[in-house]
Amino acid sequence: MLGYTTVGTNNFEKAKAYYGALLAELGGRPVFGSDRIQFYGNGGQGGMVAVCKPYDGESATTGNGVMLALSAPDRETVDKVYKKALELGSPDEGAPGARLPTFYGAYFRDPDGNKICVFKMG
């Protein structure tokens, strides 16, 4: 159902490097972009994630209650992506673990402070 989501950044080059490395752990790669936006996808399987400079030219800000959630194929990948995020300098928002009987997830923030979850359902 999800086509794509965008995450605003105040440092476009740093955000592209961060998301390029992070999303590669989930099979993501740059698919298209311009001087203000970069889309990442995995060959037409599911939605895309884009990082962008806000179109209105104002500073990017984080939203209270807004979170990007990335689906992983298994718990090992959740652990791997979380570890990669911390290696990339992400602040920890919750180590990998079972949150519900059918939900295993980990939480961190990107360089601009946007909250991210990587999870496996089931």
Domains recognised in the chain with CATH numbers = 4-54+64-121 (3.10.180.10)
Q: What is the mean pLDDT of the chain?
A: 95
pLDDT of residue 86: 98
Per residue in 22-51, pLDDT (tens digit) is: 999 999 999 999 999 999 998 777 799 999
| pLDDT, average across residues 89-111 | 97
Is 96:75 a contact under the CB 8 Å cutoff? yes
Could you write out the DSSP letters of every residue in 15-75? HHHHHHHHHHTTT-EEEEE-SSEEEEESSSSS-EEEEE--TTSSPP-PPTT-EEEEE-SSH
Question: What DSSP element (H or E) covers 97?
Answer: strand 92-100
pLDDT of residue 94: 97
